[in-house]
Amino acid sequence: MLKRFMELLMRQKRIRLYNIFMYILLVLAPLIVYESVRYNDFIDLDDNRYVTENPRVKAGLTRYSLIWAFTSFTYASNYHPLTWLSHMLDCQLFGLNAGRHHLSSLLLHIINTLLLFWVLQRMTGDLWPSGLVAALFAVHPLHVESVAWIAERKDVLSGFFWMLTIIAYLKYARSPNIIRYMLVFVILGLGLLAKPMLVTLPLVLLLLDYWPLKRLAPPPENASRLGDFGKNSASGAGSDFLRDYLRGSAIFRRRQTLGYISSRRPNGQRLAQLCWLPREDGLSEPVGDFIPLSR
Q: What is the pLDDT of residues 16-55, one digit of tens each?
A: 999 999 999 999 999 999 999 999 999 999 999 999 999 9
Dihedral sign from CA coordinates of 283, 288, 290, 293: negative
- Cα–Cα–Cα angle for 135, 107, 55, nearest 5°? 140
Q: Write out pLDDT tens, residues 121-149.
A: 999 989 999 999 999 999 999 999 999 99
Q: Are 83 and 195 in contact (CB under 8 A)?
A: yes
Q: Write out pLDDT tens, residues 153-189.
A: 999 999 999 999 999 999 999 999 999 999 999 999 9
**Domain residue ranges of the chain, discontinuous segments joined by +:** 19-210, 223-292
- Cα–Cα–Cα angle for 30, 35, 38, nearest 5°? 130
